[in-house]
Amino acid sequence: MSETIFKEWFFNQFVPEVERFLKSKNLPRKAILIMDNATTHPDTNFLTDKGIKAIFLPPNVTSLVQPMDQGVLAALKKRYRRKLLSSLILAMDEGHELLAKLKQIDLLDVIGYISQCWNELEPITLVRSWRKLLDHSGNEFDPQEESESSDLVSVMKQIPGCEDSVEEDVREWMDLDGASEPLGEDEIIADVRAQGGEKEEDDSEDDTQTSQEDM
């Protein structure tokens, strides 16, 4: 994400979608996009369009007040992990090696999984995220979250070596996301190039082996 891409999204995607929604509900053309103060976000002075504008949250409060951090992302991650594990289980049922299947999963597959998981999220998940933010009287227990964790455990147990998995293992797996810093653009590019080099070497080895067999 860059400032240029964000501006294009704001004016070409966000504003038109909001306009259509407000018009369908006979509401005035007023809306606010609340976002965290990430370095990739443009100055909010440049994100305004006749009553539709963006504002930043105060620094260092994102995890406390942003609804997306109040359960929506956790639910999305659990669904993604379940879909990932399910794809591995299906591959093993078809006779593929676990590690071989993992190596075949690329960024396009991941984007597809996430898109499917987002579309599968129940509206009540979004509603609950706002309740956690606005109502501090009693949201310690969420049956839906417990159910999602249990479902993920049952899928994990089908992976070789994970037969004794429990919900604590799921929580540890979820917590791994915050254990390391996200990769920067240069690191991502270097990683993609390295993977491309490995693929070329594998293809070269396959061609060599095929030639030897033909001889």
Concatenating the DSSP letter of every residue in 144-193 gives HHHHHHHHHHHHHTTSTT-TT--HHHHHHHHHGGGSSPPP-HHHHHHHHH
Work out the average pLDDT over 6-22. 92
Number of structural domains (the chain) is 2
**Residue at 206 is within a domain:** no
* Confidence bin at 207 (pLDDT 50/70/90): low
List the end-to-end C-alpha distance of the chain, in Å, as a whole number. 51
Shared domain for 39 and 94, answered yes or no, is no
Weakest mean pLDDT among 14-18, 96-100, 149-153? 149-153
**Residue at 138 is within a domain:** yes
User: Residue 9: is its pLDDT beyond 70?
Assistant: yes
Among residues 98, 92, 88, 86, the alpha carbon closest in space to that of 151 is found at 86
Most confident of the following: 112-116, 141-145, 196-200: 112-116
Among residues 40, 118, 104, 106, the alpha carbon closest in space to that of 75 is found at 118
DSSP type of residue 52: E
User: Residue 139: is its pLDDT beyond 50?
Assistant: no
Name the pTM for this structure.
0.54
User: Residue 184: is its pLDDT beyond 70?
Assistant: no
**Residue at 212 is within a domain:** no
Question: What is the residue range of 29's domain?
Answer: 7-56
**Residue at 215 is within a domain:** no
Please report, for residues 5, 48, 72, the alpha-carbon distance to residue 37 in angstroms, rounded to integers and kept in the order given: 16, 16, 19
Shared domain for 129 and 36, answered yes or no, is no
H or E element, residue 54: strand 52-56
* Confidence bin at 140 (pLDDT 50/70/90): very low
Shared domain for 108 and 164, answered yes or no, is yes
**Residue at 185 is within a domain:** no
* Confidence bin at 20 (pLDDT 50/70/90): very high
What does the alpha-carbon distance between residue 114 and residue 214 come to, in Å, rounded to a whole number? 43
